[in-house]
Structure 1
């Protein structure tokens, strides 16, 4: 029986329990566990990756892990005994990159799916007309995630205010395309956002975005890129605190805990951090509390705001990192340094601006979580952090690079030297084309180590964690893809980059907890840690690796509380994965 990882504040109760269990045949109810899970395969994910049979829980904490006889001996008359009947239990999963408030939390609306399937301006306008008719006068009509490219639209262009105005005379309208890369609004939307022919174009200030204009210089209602979207979203209140609160509460129940996730990091999604911060706080303060633990990042909007505004945001925060309790942590900055949107080459935050903001965030003591998708960004961000450490040495900052395709050996060496963690999304391999290897870009002046490396980072000694970026949500899908690297067609993609099953499990449990300085309280099934557990319908360790994504989650336990019980306990049930916010099948 293991009694490890016990903090001083929790020691007294554990000592009392162990004393009584050793000296008497029965444990007083005041010391007995609240719940005992026994007769299972308990995958502890401790240092030895040991397997136990049972676990005891009291006051939301794991108090003992061991054999059936050892743990059942601790039970008192009031202890709930849960017979697992051989089922497998793992530490609750930790998704380190999940945009819960949006798009995952977007309220279900059939119009979103219809918009995504629309093939002409007429169809798009008809969808808008129906949504306007259902809205109150003056109410914002918001429909996200239309077609990804103009090639998917018959007219080979985005709709504009001229198309939308006739069906929306009394309502501001925003329709998005190309994920959230293109925003289209009507005349009322432009008016309420005060966007007109005198509004400065964002790109002229080095920001990401532009709005289309007609021959007279008047905005057409088509806005591209984050800075342009910011000009529209903020004044129209697209993501108000009230809306985000409901999004978060609903999606925690529908999209998080059913997949065994007991902890996740939300990198936020807007230039204004306040609404999402307040929304999460409201949900946390509800009577029922949070069913999963949240690491809420503060977004430093380097693509949408000026250098001065970003540094002012960093310097103006009223607390030092991290700010946290058992369910809520704020200690990480999210910085997205590049982005693609249709009709333009990749936008890259200007190097001097990016360098200054990164150094300022590092200097202020925050953990940096940096979005990188282009070689140019990878190179200059690596150099900027080298400079940050030279100017302001820090011990164990645990900065994180996410996405990070196309690393050079120099990039790898820098990450290793600075202790930077790799947060990777392997799920998207599923939809890669079968000729992806042949069409991958190659630059002889910058030889790289692959577009989607994982084992490459691991072999270099760089800590690797796996996250979903909600495409799709489901850590078992991530584990499945990490150990198989298989496409929808069945064709394997770069098998040399596979992880072992143990490595993949650690990447969504203990290593993710360690990444955010929380491995002392979660990430493994050890005494003294939070009782965050997931019960699976099949044995993850023995099932055919190709069947891992089809394993159902039967129960999710957070802080010793059953927060999710699958109404279908059949281990052979079909497991569904979704695209968000349309909630169509990811597997199609």
Structure 2
């Protein structure tokens, strides 16, 4: 038997569907949209309960965070936030940023003084020297001021760099490790700065194993969803590093997300990050097909090509990094990609490729071209994550191959000034995250926070795409700004399309899931600079109301 009908009223409903662009009421039954229009339209379906809680609010399709990491939820549960960006924790408490090394060392000393087990590692996260004043590296010399005996591991905001103290270097035997990302001083000793996966994973396994999928703590799933839901997200992507192929981890994920009070949907990419080879990637991905539930789905497989631009590990085409002309590091080398990408493509998987800089994007495009030439596939929806230095020539090649993108629009706000002064120079910084050009050429484009890299906040991400303003107020590349409507579409329908979920979510249309974000003001009517300040009144997921905060 069909369940009861609830009709939600609103000051305005923005549907993001061209058939009926605006409404005042939406009828919901069994978690599905039954009707969209006015009260009489909705009443035609029979008896209903009218919910007027949001009669003075704006309803929009549920906002979608198209690239993030469950690691964010785990870090809130298991580690200490010590980064420079102000962030709200899962309880809604503002954690103020630490913007220099002296403040960082003091905070770590406070944390260390409260630890009773002298052998337990101190794990922190969110640090980023590029956002500090003054800009200075975080090395073993700074961390040894906290402790020379307790292992310390600090994950940078980018998640592509870590800083460790001497105790961690000793425990993990870094004196014998020759990976290129292990930075060394003039004497040849490790500095404590570890760049990229090959350099970092030894320390992670030695002192912070939870961060590579070892934890089944339910708090990580709730934290991940709560922080996103508080800022209006109804769906959030777990971008590929989690170990759902492990039965215990999968069981924990299914149990958490099946709870009625779980506040958001998770779409998880299969793990092509810590899983080393194509055969295992394909086997694990195939094994997870159909294993989700109403709030957990598996889609695509995530691979990482290069690193972090602000960490100087993104792979650039000439002229390289500003001043030095140096280049970054490959996480998957070109020769490997030429076989890995076709193998995943031939297996029928959607490939989600981390390409921060332009050489990495170019390499992925070439690998997809090889795959398509050998075995053409329609509607594969492979997409690039970040794509910060995509240009028109790369975007046109993407269109021809059916490749799309989710751009890291937040980067211009948080790191735009650093990129201009230290990483790329003026021109390339102005050209970052070219959403307007991509949309004009026909690329389906979304945008994201990449949390824990930057805080998950879909309205801020939307604002960044529409305004392209740095934290100091400088506008970068004004012709690459998009309209508020296009920015909202990037965070709703376009994101759903990338995730093969546009038939279920992304717009308010009869037959889709009843996922809505409830706002205090109309993001299409306010000045674009005011969008990020619009209060979130709550969300509705599958017809269930979740309060804000």
Shorter-chain TM-score range = 0.7 to 0.9
Offset of 1:73 from its aligned partner? Answer: 5.1
How much does 1:523 deviate?
Answer: 1.4
Q: Structure 1: how far apart are the matches of 2:473 and 2:190?
A: 47
Structure 2 counterpart SS, 1:55: strand
Q: Which runs of 5+ in 2 are unaligned?
A: 85-95, 314-325
With over 3 angstroms needed to count, the CA separation of the structure-2 counterparts of 1:136 and 1:361, relative to structure 1, is same
Say if 2:394 is the partner of 1:421.
no
Shift of 1:497: 1.6
1:336 to 304, 310, 318: 304
Range with greater deviation from structure 2 (544-553 or 110-119): 110-119
In the TM superposition, 1:479-494 aligns within 5 A as 479-494=462-477
The count of corresponding residues between Structure 1 and Structure 2 is 515
Q: CA deviation at 1:482?
A: 2.4
TM-score by length of 1: 0.77
Deviation at 1:559, TM superposition (A): 0.7
Q: State whether residues 62 and 492 of structure 2, in contact with CA within 8 Å, keep that contact through their aligned partners in structure 1.
A: yes
Find the partner of 1:465 among 446, 451, 455: 446
The aligned residue for residue 436 of structure 2 is 455
Change in Cα spacing, 1:244 to 1:97, as seen in structure 2 (3 Å) is: farther
Shift of 1:115: 8.9
Q: 1:58 — aligned with what? A: 29
TM-aligned CA distance change 1:52 to 1:125, over 3 Å: closer
Q: Which residue matches 1:314?
A: 281
Supply the distance in 2 between the matched residues of 1:126 and 1:489 (Cα, whole angstroms): 27
* Structure 1 residues 104 and 493, CA gap change in structure 2 (3 angstroms): farther
Provide structure 1 residue ranges, at least 5 long, that are not aligned to the other structure.
1-11, 14-30, 204-208, 567-588
RMSD of equivalent CA atoms: 3.7
Q: Give, in angstroms, the shift of residue 95 of structure 1.
A: 1.0
Query: Equivalent residue for 2:316?
Result: none
Q: Distance in 1 between matches of 2:135 and 2:10?
A: 60
| Superposed counterparts of 1:18-417, under 5 Å | 32-33=4-5, 35-48=6-19, 50-72=21-43, 74=45, 76=47, 79-82=49-52, 84-102=54-72, 105-107=75-77, 109=80, 116-120=98-102, 124=105, 127-128=108-109, 130-131=111-112, 133-148=114-129, 158-160=139-141, 163=144, 167=147, 169=149, 171-177=150-156, 179-186=158-165, 189-190=168-169, 192-193=171-172, 195-199=173-177, 201-203=178-180, 209-210=181-182, 212=184, 221-236=192-207, 237-239=209-211, 241-242=214-215, 245-253=218-226, 255-269=227-241, 274=246, 280-285=253-258, 287-288=259-260, 290-301=262-273, 309-317=276-284, 319=286, 322-323=289-290, 324-340=292-308, 341=311, 345-348=327-330, 349-417=332-400
* Structure 1 stretch displaced more, 326-335 or 100-109: 100-109
CA–CA separation in structure 2 for the residues paired with 1:454 and 1:56? 34
Question: How far apart, in 1, do the equivalents of 2:38 and 2:241 lie?
Answer: 45
TM-score (norm 2): 0.82
Larger radius of gyration: 1
Describe the shift of the 1:480–1:440 C-alpha distance in structure 2 as closer, same or farther (beyond 3 A): same
Structure 1 residue matching 2:546: 3-state secondary structure = strand
Is residue 150–residue 158 contact of structure 1 (8 Å, CA) maintained in 2? no
Once the two structures are TM-superposed, the CA of residue 238 in structure 1 deviates from its matched residue by 3.6
Deviation at 1:331, TM superposition (A): 2.2
Distance 1:337 1:40, change over 3 A: same
CA distance change for structure 1 residues 235 and 272 in 2, over 3 Å: closer, same or farther?
A: farther
* CA shift in 2, pair 1:363/1:479, >3 Å: same
Higher mean displacement: 487-496 or 505-514: 487-496
What CA distance in whole angstroms lies between the structure 2 residues aligned with 1:110 and 1:435? Answer: 24
2:535 aligned partner: 552
The 2-side partners of 1:149 and 1:439 are apart by 10
- 483-492 vs 105-114, which moves further: 105-114
